[in-house]
Amino acid sequence: MNKILMLSVRPDEQAAIDNWQKQHPDIKVSTASWELKAETVAQTAGFDGLVIQQRYNIEPEVYPKLKELGFKQISARTAGFDVLDLKLATQNGLIITNVPAYSPRSVAELALAHTLRLTRNLELFDDRASRQDFRWAGLQAKEIHSLTIGIIGAGRIGGTAAKLFHALGAKVIANDLVENPKLTDILTYMSFEDVLKQADVICLHVDLNETTHHLIDAQALSLMKPTAFLVNECRGWS
């Protein structure tokens, strides 16, 4: 029987893990709350597969130890795998897998929520209310249907966000290296510079790589409207 060890398991994950275990009785799944580190790697002995979810980089000395213990794969149950050193993994015969589509709808809805919070001045209202000041003067909100939303990176998440904004009546423009023909009925593709110039809200949905490092710099900010908002839903290396 193959044995899998899942690390950094949260209480809210356990039900899904138990359900999967029932559907795969030929595989034994064990869970632990600790992370994969040099001081804990010895505790992974006796397992065939390793599933991780952690914020801290795996130390270089862990990789040869995993090879010594017979591991062939590390699976990250996240979209990003920047905590892993792919070169060291390859050198030690380890295959790295991840979850490429990790709830695009959830992140897209978060982008919408952040946009509404900004355009409706909710943070400023909350601040005034906390001081028993219920005046609304100077905090007139902007309605979504009156705005142009600029999506930078119209992939799984950005494309989903575009659909949400479009459904609320906003004009949606986007920039992406690959234009998706399935989205052309809800958004208009433009150059990066034109999106910055025309959008009332810029939503960033790109991963960090060589082409996106310092994507929003002083020059990019200078192209934006003085009244525009910037919503950053990006993450690290994917």
Q: What percent of the chain has pLDDT over 90?
A: 77
By CB neighbour count within 10 A (0-12 exposed, 13-18 middle, 19+ buried), where does 212 fall? middle
pLDDT confidence of residue 236: 59
- Burial string for 98-117 (b: 16+ CB within 10 Å, else e) reads eeeebebeebbeebbebbeb
Residue 106 is encoded by which pair of tokens?
A: 């959830």
The average pLDDT across 154-174 equals 96
pLDDT, greater one: 65 or 1: 65
The answer, yes or no, to whether residue 101 has pLDDT greater than 80, is: no
Range 161-186 average pLDDT: 96
Tell me what pLDDT residue 76 has. 93
**How high is the pLDDT of residue 127?**
86
Q: Phi then psi for 91, rounded to 5 degrees?
A: -60, -25
In this predicted structure, the answer to whether residue 129 has a pLDDT above a threshold of 80 is: yes
Note the pLDDT of residue 81.
85
Please compute the mean of the pLDDT values over residues 73-89 and round it to a whole number: 91
What is the pLDDT, as a whole number, of residue 103? 83
Residue % of the chain over a pLDDT of 70: 99
Q: For the chain, list the domains and their CATH numbers.
A: 2-97 (3.40.50.720), 104-232 (3.40.50.720)
pTM for the complete prediction? 0.78
Tell me what pLDDT residue 61 has: 96
55 pLDDT band, cuts 50/70/90, is: confident
Residue 88 has pLDDT above 90, yes or no: yes
Q: What is the pLDDT of residue 91?
A: 96
Q: If pLDDT is split at 50, 70 and 90, which confidence band does 137 have?
A: confident
Mean pLDDT (the chain, rounded):
92
Structure confidence by residue, pLDDT tens digits, 200-234:
999 999 887 778 888 999 999 999 999 999 999 98
pLDDT at 192 exceeding the cut of 80: yes
CA distance 60 to 215: 30
- Angle between helix 122-130 and helix 104-119 axes, rounded to 10 deg: 60
pLDDT for residue 115? 97
| pLDDT band, residue 238 (cuts 50/70/90) | very low
Chain centroid offset of residue 82 CA: 12
The torsion angles phi and psi of 149, rounded to 5 degrees, stand at: -100, 125
Please count the other Cβ atoms lying within 10 Å of the Cβ belonging to residue 49. 17
Q: Which of 12-43 are b and which e, b meaning 16 or more Cβ less than 10 Å from the residue's Cβ? A: eeeeebeeeeeeeeeeebebeeebbbeeebee
Whether the per-residue pLDDT at 159 is higher than 90: the answer is yes
